[in-house]
C-alpha cells in the first residue's frame, strides 16, 4: 500500500515537472520571436511636433530636430508677375482690370498714367489672393496683345516655419517669466525678471511683424500690368491729323520767337560781360602794333640797296 502511494506521488511530480518545462520552453520561444520581430521591424518614424502660433491661421507640422523640411503641411510660396500689353483703348482696359481684380478678391494698390493722345501709357499694380493668381493672369492677357510676360516664384517654406517656431518659443518664455514673476519676493528678483520679460517681448514684437509681412506676401500675389495704347487704323478718312492745326501752329510760332529772343538776349549779355576783357586786349594790342610797325620800318631801311 505504501509503495503504491509512493508511486502515485512520483508520477504526479513527474507530470508537474513536465508541464512546467513545456511552459518555460514556450515562454523562451515567444521571447525569441518577439526579439526577432523587433530586429526585423524598421524603426518607427518619430512623432511630428505641432507648433501653434497666435499670429498664424494654420498649424504647421514639422519633423523633430533633424533639420529637414516638413514632411506634411502646405508649401509657402511668394508669387509675382510682370505683364506688358498693347491695347486699343486704354480707358476701357483699365476699367476691365479693376473689375477683374475685384472679382478675384483683390484690389489695385498703385496706378500711373502718362502720354498724349496717340502715345498713352499706364501701369497698374494688383494685389490678389494667391489662389486667384493664375486665373487673373489668363483673363488679363485677353484684354490686349501680350508683349512680355514674366513670373517670379520664391519658396519661403523654411523661413516661414522658422519664424513660426521662434515666435512659439518666445511666447512660451513669456508665459514662464510671468509665472515666475508672480512668485518673486524681493525687489531685485522682480526687476531682473521684468528686464528679461521686456527683452523677450521686444524680440516677439519684431518677429511677429516680420512674420505678418511674410504671411501677407505668401497669401497675396502681386501682378504688375503695363499698358501701351495702340489705336487701330480707321478705314475712313477722318482728318484727325488736321484737328487743332491752327492752334498748334500758333504755339510753334510762339515757341520759335521766344527761342530767338532768348538767343539774342544771351548774345547781348555775353557782349556786355566781355567788354572789360575786350578793353584790356585793345589797350595791350595798340602798343604792340606800334612796336611791330617800327621794327618793320627799321628792317626795311636797313636792308642794302642792290647795285644797278
User: Is 288 a domain residue?
Assistant: no
| Beta partners for residue 85, in sequence order | 146, 227
Between 66 and 143, the higher pLDDT residue: 143
Which domain does 26 fall in, by range?
A: 1-44
Concatenate the DSSP letters of all residues of 266-284 into one string.
HHHHHHHHHHHHHHHHHHH
How much is the pLDDT for 242? 60
Mean pLDDT, rounded, of the chain:
75
What does the pLDDT look like over 69-88, one tens digit per residue?
A: 343 468 899 999 999 999 98
Between 63 and 255, the higher pLDDT residue: 255
User: Is 64 a domain residue?
Assistant: no
| Beta partners for residue 153, in sequence order | 79
Name all contacts of 196-201 with Cβ < 8 Å and 24+ positions apart.
Answer: 200/170, 200/173, 200/174, 201/174
Place of cell 494688383: 126
How much is the pLDDT for 49? 36
**Residues 9 and 100 occupy one common structural domain:** no
C-alpha to C-alpha distance for 89 and 174, rounded to whole angstroms:
59
C-alpha to C-alpha distance for 182 and 195, rounded to whole angstroms:
15
C-alpha to C-alpha distance for 181 and 197, rounded to whole angstroms:
9
Mean pLDDT, range 190-214, rounded to an integer: 94
How much is the pLDDT for 8? 60
User: Is 247 a domain residue?
Assistant: no
Q: Is the pLDDT of residue 232 over 70?
A: no
**Residues 166 and 89 occupy one common structural domain:** yes
How much is the pLDDT for 277? 77
Phi and psi torsions of 62, nearest 5°: -125, 160
Q: Which of 7, 182, 158 is nearest to 68 (CA)?
A: 158
Q: Is the pLDDT of residue 165 over 60?
A: yes
How much is the pLDDT for 197? 93
How much is the pLDDT for 191? 93
**Residues 89 and 14 occupy one common structural domain:** no
User: Is 219 a domain residue?
Assistant: yes
How much is the pLDDT for 295? 73
Q: Which of 122, 97, 124, 123 is nearest to 109 (CA)?
A: 124
Q: What pTM did the predictor assign?
A: 0.50
Amino acid at each position: 500500500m505504501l509503495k503504491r502511494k509512493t508511486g502515485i506521488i512520483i508520477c504526479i511530480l513527474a507530470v508537474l515537472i513536465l508541464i512546467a518545462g513545456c511552459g518555460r520552453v514556450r515562454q523562451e520561444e515567444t521571447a525569441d520571436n518577439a526579439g526577432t520581430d523587433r530586429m526585423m521591424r524598421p524603426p518607427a518614424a518619430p512623432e511630428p511636433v505641432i507648433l501653434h502660433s497666435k499670429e498664424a491661421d494654420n498649424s504647421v507640422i514639422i519633423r523633430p530636430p533633424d533639420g529637414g523640411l516638413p514632411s506634411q503641411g502646405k508649401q509657402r510660396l511668394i508669387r509675382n508677375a510682370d505683364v506688358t500689353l498693347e491695347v486699343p483703348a486704354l480707358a476701357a482696359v483699365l476699367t476691365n482690370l479693376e473689375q477683374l481684380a475685384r472679382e478675384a478678391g483683390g484690389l489695385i494698390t498703385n496706378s500711373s498714367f502718362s502720354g498724349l493722345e496717340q502715345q498713352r501709357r499706364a501701369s497698374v499694380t494688383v494685389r490678389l489672393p494667391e489662389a486667384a493668381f493664375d486665373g487673373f493672369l489668363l483673363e488679363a492677357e485677353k484684354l490686349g496683345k501680350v508683349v512680355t510676360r514674366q513670373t517670379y516664384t520664391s519658396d519661403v517654406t523654411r523661413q516661414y516655419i522658422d519664424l513660426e517656431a521662434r515666435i512659439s518659443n518666445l511666447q512660451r518664455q513669456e508665459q514662464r517669466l510671468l509665472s515666475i514673476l508672480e512668485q518673486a519676493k524681493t525687489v531685485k528678483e522682480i526687476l531682473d525678471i521684468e528686464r528679461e520679460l521686456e527683452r523677450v517681448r521686444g524680440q516677439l514684437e519684431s518677429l511677429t511683424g516680420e512674420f505678418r509681412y511674410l504671411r501677407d506676401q505668401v497669401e497675396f500675389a502681386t501682378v504688375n500690368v503695363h499698358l501701351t495704347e495702340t489705336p487701330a487704323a480707321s478705314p475712313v478718312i477722318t482728318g484727325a491729323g488736321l484737328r487743332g492745326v491752327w492752334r498748334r501752329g500758333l504755339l510753334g510760332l510762339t515757341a520759335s520767337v521766344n527761342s530767338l529772343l532768348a538767343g539774342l538776349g544771351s548774345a547781348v549779355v555775353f557782349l556786355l560781360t566781355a567788354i572789360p576783357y575786350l578793353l584790356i586786349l585793345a589797350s595791350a594790342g595798340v602798343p604792340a602794333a606800334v612796336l611791330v610797325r617800327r621794327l618793320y620800318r627799321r628792317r626795311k631801311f636797313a636792308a642794302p640797296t642792290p647795285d644797278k
